[in-house]
Structures are given as C-alpha cells and as structure tokens.
Structure 1
Amino acid sequence: MWSGLCAPNEGDDRMDRRMFLRKFIDLGKKAAFLHLLAGCTNLKTSASQTAEEAPPSPFKDYSLRELAQEKLHHGDDRFVNPFSNKEHGNMLRVLHWKLFSQNQFRSYYDQEQVVPVSIDWEPIRDHGNLSVTFVKHASVMIKDQDQYILLDPVFSEIFQFIKDFSPLEFDVREIPRPDHILISHGHYDHLDSRSLAALGRDTHVISPLGYDDIFADLKMNNRTQLDWFGTFEDGKREIIFLPCDHWTMRNPLEGPNTSLWGSYLLKTASGATIYLSADTAYFDRFQEIGREFSIDLAIINLGAYEPRWFMAGSHMNPSDTVQAFKELGAARLMVTHWGTFRLGDEPVYFPPMEIKREMEKEGLSDRLVHLNHGETLFL
C-alpha cells in the first residue's frame, strides 16, 4: 500500500535525478572543454607579435635532444613546457574571451557550411606506395605500402554544444583498420574515446607518456608510450616523437600537463619523411628540427588561432605556419585542424584561404598542398 501510494512521486524523483545528472554531466563537459581552451596567463607575446619576435626558449642553450635527454620537461607530478613560461588553464581568461572580448569574425559565421565527408577507400587500398588522406579536423590517415597509420582519430562531435561542420557520410567500419594509431596529446579534439573504441581493441596505439588509464579503460593493451625523441620501429619504418610548444588537459580537477604532448616524425618505408606538427604554438626550434631531418611533407595544424592574445600560446596562425614551414625546410606543406569544429574566433573555412594568401606572399604557392576533408594525396 505504501509503495503504491509513493510510486508516482518516486518515479518523478528518479526522473528529476536523471535530468539533474544529465545536466550536471553536460555542465562538467562544458567546463572541461572551456578548460581545454583556457589560455595562458603569463603570455609575453602581444596580439600583433609575429613568429620572428617570439621570445627565445628559456633553455635556449640546450638542443632539443639535450632537453629530452636531461628530461627538463619532467616535473614533480606533471610535465612542464621548457620552451616558454606560459601558464595554461586559467578560466578567468576563458570567460573574458567568451563574454567580453570583441569578435571581429562573427559576421562571417553565416557563411559557414556543413560539408559531409565521403572517402573512396578503394583507390587508397589499391595504391601500393604512399598516400595521405585528410579525414577531418586533425585526423590524417597515412598508407605506407602495406600499413595504415592514423593520427588523432576523431570521427564525430566531441561535445553536443560544439557543431561538427564535417560529419562523416560513411560508417566508421569502412575505414581500413589502422596498423598504428598515433595520439599527439590529450585534448578532447585529438583523443576521443568513442572514435578509438570503434577502431578495435587490438589496434596498436602509440601515445605520449601519461595516458595508460584511458587506454586501459578501452582495453587497448597493444600500446607503446613514447617520451620526447622516443622511437618506434617495425623494421620498415620509424616513428619518432618530437617536442613541441603546447600543453594538455582532460580533467580540470587534476589540472594541466599530467600527461605529455608532442609532434611526430614518420620515416616511411616508401622513402619519404613526413612531419606531423599536431597542436603547437610557434617556437624557435623548427629550424633545429629541419636541420636534423630532411622533411618531404610537413603537415601542420592550422586552426583555433584567433584571437591572438588568447590563442598564440597554443596554436600558430597562418603567418606563423609559413615561418615554421620555411624553418623546417620541408619540400611541401599541408594544413589540417580546420573545417570541423570552430574552436577559435575565426570561421572554420578561413585557415585554407589565409594560408594560401600567406604562401602566395612568400612566393611558395607551388609548395602548398591543399586537401579538403576526404581527399587524398598520392605520393
């Protein structure tokens, strides 16, 4: 009798609790995302500062290899960025950006379009040498002879409140199973658990230090962790994990940099060398990387770079990207990290337009490779 009288209220209470939990989880995700974007508090660069004017690294007397060997990026309970004194994860700066900063690009947003992504995998499978496919956002599939290497797979929306302008038109199961997945860092637009789960537990994952808990939860036990200048070799190709000027965070309660971040260099079995910048600010070590490695193709992340006062400590803008490309001495340049999520003020379609203009100004148009989502460069 008691339970019968109380059943409707109990049901309402359960529904209210579920609604509360959903809202609480959604709020937590929003907070995590805002922390993901949180800028730097001690940024010495101004909004108008160019790459050439960026301050030198605090450890400028150390080579990159010496920095890595001395483990100057290892702190007591987290990793540190030896290339700058920038502090990330400041929510007040995020709120200032989102609530009070003037957005000079807002009038262009009505020109943004959702462009679904389709990929014809058959020519890629049939190609016996080297190919590079721009899947979406920062996800790139490299086929090197008989193996597939996939960088930062993110196949769908990362948060419900962030629009996906490049939804996949095909089932993820159509993607050739990668032999190696490369993870550059832990920000949610680069390390997505749902996308990883769709690729199979047995897939080999190469990641920076500090992500064991995520891959253990996914039961992806076939994995290799790399510190800066750590390498993975399979007898035909070599994958080198390189330093860059960035940061990472997934849990705001833990704070930033409990895990490592970095770039990759792939010495392919096909003979070409590909540099994968992943997310990085401009820093004064690109020339050093270019001196050590002969790079045929530099794939640089270009997106979420405005406003400069907020983003310069995390991402390069078009002029920074051209400067980095020249210092790397790479033969060709391709840009990713655009067209999927509007994570900065600039519209999602701006980066390829602006890099084209910057390369033209430098007389480098013939060295720019433009791929839309779903397109493939055959080498």
Structure 2
Amino acid sequence: MIGRMGPQRHTYRDRLTDPLPGPREILRVLRSGGLRGSAADADRIPLLRNGLPRTEADSAAVTWAGHASYVLRVGGACVLADPVWSHKIPGVPRRLTPPGVAWSELPPVDAVVISHNHYDHLDAPTIKRLPRSTPVLVPAGLGGWFTKRGFRSVTELDWWESAEVGGLRFDFVPAHHWSRRGLRDTCQSLWGGWVITDPAGTRLYHAGDTGYGHWFAEIGERYPGIDVAMLPIGAYSPRWFLRNVHMDPEEAVRACGDLGARRLATMHWGTFILTRESVIEPLELVRKAWATTGRDLDDLWDLAVGETRFTGPAN
C-alpha cells in the first residue's frame, strides 16, 4: 500500500532552487580535472565501532553509520535514515570506512526514511536486507520503487506533509537539491529532509542532501526546538559547480543557526570519495566554523563513524 497526501505528478523540476548544470558546466568541470578527489588521509577519519549502547525511552540516541546514514533511537522506536550499508555503490570507489554499526547489531527497525533517490542515499542492496513489512517513508514519486520490491507499508509525502508511524511524527521538509536514478528520470521524484518528533517533544532533523538557502529558516520557524540537526558537510568542491546542491562546512554551521537547532551532527563526509576536497577537510573546517560562533563546543556533534550521542539521560 502507498499512502499519498497530495496529487501525483510526473516532474518536480519546478521545485529546483537553481537550474541544474548544463553541458557547458559539465564540460568545464571535466576539463578542470573532474570531481573525484584522493583517498589520502583516509586513515585520519575517526572510527568508533563499539556497537549500539543501551538507551532508555526518554533519551534519544543518534548514531552515525557513515555518509548520510543514521540509526536513530527515539521515543522507544528505531529509525534508519538513508541507510547505506554496501561497501560499493555505483559510480564511485569503495567506501573509505566500514559501516559504523554492523547490520547484525541493529535492533528491529520500526521505520526507514529516505531523503531522495541518489545512489549514496537510496541503496538497493541495503533496502533488500529489510523485512518487507518495514514501514518506509519516502518523497513523493518514489513509493513505486519500494512497492515493486515487495514493501507493503510505504508512505509518500510532499513537502510539509506529515505521517505518524510507530508513535513518532514524521514531517517531510524542503531541501535545495534534486533527484535522478537513471538516464530518463531527472526530478521525477521529490527530494527533502525529515523532521522526526516523539510524544515527549524530542525533535530530530535529518537534512538529507542539500545546498544552503532559505528553506532552513522556514523549517526552523515551523518546527521550533530542534534538538539535533543532522547536516551534510562534505562533497562541496569545486564550489562553483556544487554550491547550489551541496553545503560546505561553513554553510552547514550557518544552517544550524537558521534552524535554531541546539546541536549540529555532521554527516555526508568520510565514507565515499564524491568530490575534490580532501577526505578530512570537512571535519577540520566545520570545527573551525563552529568555534567562530562562540557556541558551546559540546553542541557540535562531530561524530566518529559508529559513534553514538544522546539528547538526554543514558545508561
């Protein structure tokens, strides 16, 4: 079953913040060396693969599994955000760091949220490992991808729509990005982020993949009191080519302020070599940018791969 809360569409190109690069821009980036960077300094990416520590229902636990994948235990439920457990995805080298949590160590999954259909956020081999009864929440236009694979509880949402699953409220919110999975499906499904709220009021925001822009302030106004904002800090170089769809670390810090979020949890770096910046640069730059704000250093959750942090009391 697909739950929908709006009219079906064939394209979401009108939701683009800026036009996508054309042949001239693509040729320019290819002539200047392409997008791929080096794996040098990969041994400096922090790892902390100690499994999932126990937590109580009144304490949300946020675990970075690598790239944009998070294991979120909130309100007594377990949610996977953009789960990618594969060691290789199409078009890029093998991952630099292993998944921060072994698949066998995961508790029963109560819901999965997908931000958009790019291969580094929607990984077919990982999705195949889930029971087909797992509730999945996806952007508008993407539900059919899951029902074709046998999933029975699939909810499509447009921007600003919401659904309740497993005692949690899920709100799908805008992002400055785009979608494509094949040669002929550009922007035929939507893209965005997720605001997850439990009955006690704990509020988590997973931005998916996004450039910097006006949506953050509006999300913060509509959903005040975000406890943790999971924001991308990598895949941003060359800047002239990627600034419309990928934030750099300084912009991620600015976005956290626009959101009014208490904490910034980093993601979208240290896993796949997608662009030219060095693999460790995003971490170094986000720490510098955060320090300039004067905010509490403990509220920058610059997580190691596999690390867990808590919003409240933990054992």
Same fold (TM over 0.5): yes
Q: Which residue of 2 aligns with 1:260?
A: 190
Residues 1:236 and 2:167 aligned together: yes
CA contact (8 A) 1:115 1:166 kept: no
Q: Which residue of 2 aligns with 1:351?
A: 282
Pair 1:301–1:174, CA change in 2 (3 A): same
Q: Distance in 1 between matches of 2:251 and 2:47?
A: 29
Q: Distance in 2 between matches of 1:169 and 1:284?
A: 32
* Cα distance, 1:377 vs structure 2: 0.7
- Identify the match of residue 196 of structure 1 among 127, 145, 158: 127
CA contact (8 A) 2:118 2:181 kept: yes
CA contact (8 A) 2:39 2:273 kept: no
Q: Which residue of 2 aligns with 1:155?
A: 85
Q: Which residue of 1 aligns with 2:19?
A: 86
CA contact (8 A) 1:246 1:279 kept: yes
Q: Which residue of 1 aligns with 2:300?
A: 368
Q: Which residue of 1 aligns with 2:111?
A: 180
Q: Residues 210-241 of structure 1, C-alpha deviation per residue, up to 9 Å, x if partnerless?
A: 12332123211211111111111147321100
Q: Distance in 1 between matches of 2:91 and 2:31?
A: 20
- Normalised to the residue count of structure 1, the TM-score between the two structures is 0.73
Q: Distance in 1 between matches of 2:238 and 2:210?
A: 16
Q: Distance in 1 between matches of 2:155 and 2:215?
A: 26
Pair 1:259–1:119, CA change in 2 (3 A): farther
SS state at 1:214 partner: helix
Percent of aligned pairs with the same residue?
Answer: 31
Q: Residues 214-273 of structure 1, C-alpha deviation per residue, up to 9 Å, x if partnerless?
A: 212321121111111111114732110011111010011x14101111111111234211
CA contact (8 A) 1:117 1:166 kept: no
Residues 1:216 and 2:147 aligned together: yes
**How many aligned residue pairs are there?**
302
What 5-or-longer segments of structure 2 have no aligned partner? none
CA contact (8 A) 2:12 2:189 kept: yes
* Cα distance, 1:91 vs structure 2: 5.3
Q: Distance in 1 between matches of 2:97 and 2:110?
A: 25
One-letter code aligned to 1:127: E
Matches within 5 A, 1:312-323: 312-323=243-254
- Identify the match of residue 219 of structure 2 among 283, 289, 300: 289
Q: Distance in 2 between matches of 1:343 and 1:131?
A: 28
Q: Residues 320-361 of structure 1, C-alpha deviation per residue, up to 9 Å, x if partnerless?
A: 112211111111111111110011111222212110000111
Pair 1:218–1:92, CA change in 2 (3 A): farther
One-letter code aligned to 2:171: I
SS state at 1:110 partner: coil
CA contact (8 A) 2:210 2:246 kept: yes
Cα RMSD after superposing both structures: 2.6
One-letter code aligned to 1:80: R
What 5-or-longer segments of structure 1 have no aligned partner? 1-68
CA contact (8 A) 2:60 2:75 kept: yes
Q: Distance in 1 between matches of 2:208 and 2:91?
A: 24
Larger relative helix fraction: 1
Q: Which residue of 2 aligns with 1:20?
A: none
Q: Which runs of 4+ in 1 moved over 6 A?
A: 114-117
CA contact (8 A) 1:140 1:150 kept: yes
Q: Which residue of 2 aligns with 1:273?
A: 203
CA contact (8 A) 1:180 1:204 kept: yes
SS state at 2:204 partner: strand
CA contact (8 A) 1:302 1:318 kept: yes
CA contact (8 A) 2:135 2:153 kept: yes
Q: Which moved more, 1:152-161 or 1:254-263?
A: 152-161
Q: Residues 176-219 of structure 1, C-alpha deviation per residue, up to 9 Å, x if partnerless?
A: 22100000000000001100111221111000111233212321
Pair 1:354–1:192, CA change in 2 (3 A): same
- Normalised to the residue count of structure 2, the TM-score between the two structures is 0.87
Q: Distance in 2 between matches of 1:133 and 1:169?
A: 8
- Identify the match of residue 257 of structure 2 among 326, 332, 339: 326
Larger radius of gyration: 1
CA contact (8 A) 2:207 2:229 kept: yes
Q: Distance in 1 between matches of 2:12 and 2:91?
A: 30
